[in-house]
């Protein structure tokens, strides 16, 4: 599987920073149809906490969570692969 961050939507002034949204694209080498979705910073934090490394989607979420707010746009175009 490969996960790619394709967009970042900043939040309006006065709105919680946890609402930053990231668009992503998931591709599977096993023949499944590609998936396009969005995830908020808040959801990324919740999903990453109990998850193990190795999965492309979790790697993408970890990158989102560990990146400083001012650098979110630098994530656009980053790709993450499974590491099993």
- Residues 28-59: pLDDT tens digits? 877 788 999 999 999 999 999 887 777 899 99
Specify the number of domains making up the chain.
1
- The answer, yes or no, to whether residue 65 has pLDDT greater than 80, is yes
Both structure tokens of 8: 């970042």
What is the span of the domain harbouring residue 57?
2-81
Alpha-helical (H) ranges within 1-84 are: 41-48, 56-66
């Amino acid at each position: 599987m490969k996960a790619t961050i394709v967009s970042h939507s900043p939040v309006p002034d006065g709105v919680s920073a946890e609402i930053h949204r990231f668009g992503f694209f998931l591709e599977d080498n096993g023949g499944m149809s590609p998936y396009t979705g969005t995830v908020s910073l808040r959801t990324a934090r919740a999903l990453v906490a109990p998850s193990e490394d190795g999965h492309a989607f979790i790697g993408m979420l970890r990158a989102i969570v560990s990146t400083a707010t001012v650098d979110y746009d630098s994530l656009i175009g980053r790709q993450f692969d499974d590491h099993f």
